Structure 1
Amino acid sequence: MSNRKAARRTILISAVAVLGAVAFVMLFPERGGPDLYAASKSDGAVSRAPKHAFGWYHTLKQFFTTFTVLLLTVLLITYVRIYREMRSHFALSLIMFTVALILYAVTSMPIMPILFGFTDPENIGPFRFLPEMFASFAVVFLLYQSNN
């Protein structure tokens, strides 16, 4: 594939991923925002952060993690295609590395703790460590491949 063709294809895939991420954020505009993080206190009062406090940060995080997941999915499909053609251990390591990065990105999305019932921002359960665990797996796969 020529450099121009590769550049055009990369731009096209990235543009589609941007559109997909924008669509996802528009479908769930307040997901991960402070309004969904209403935590009940022991006296029955509900604690809420001001609406403007973290809304944009959560929206941007949701956009970029969705964008990353979409690009990594395209990359995973590419690596699977390469592995089917060549059956190389290197391609298999790239597949495992990419899957670990996808899991990292998915578990770091602001919407994920909410979908699993963790609505208190101070207690997001396993989502406090899952992204880092998957990033660690990705590094281990890369380290293995580097030493192989």
Structure 2
Amino acid sequence: AKEAPVSKGKIVCHVAEGDVHDIGKSIVSALLRANGFDVVDLGRDVPVDEVIEAVKKEKPMMVTGTALMTTTMYAFKAVNDRLLEAGIKIPYQCGGGAVNQDFVSTYELGVYGEEAADAPKMAEAILAGADLGKLKEQFHQH
């Protein structure tokens, strides 16, 4: 039997609560998997509670969230706040048509991913020792 490749790390991916558009998340998940990461894909329209529970259970190195509808982007802030309440401080990469860097910068764990291809780059940066501050420095336009 062929041995499974060693995972570089685990990442939880989801689409914001209330949003059913999952193409962005699917691309992010596929790119992360192709780059050797273990992806826990929660799907679309994922309730905030479910994201928090998955993070507590899976203990990922990073969480990604996508939103296409502007009405759903506030779920990102809720996820951020609940993670902090739980004492979990991991990068929360957020992207999609509904959000921009200015919005994602309003919450502590948020790192803006302009393109799906940023997700594996961020994950690699975390492996190389980048913390939240470094990630924001590297991936945000100044």
TM-score, with length taken from structure 1: 0.29
Return the index of the structure with the highest Cα Rg.
1
TM-score, with length taken from structure 2: 0.30
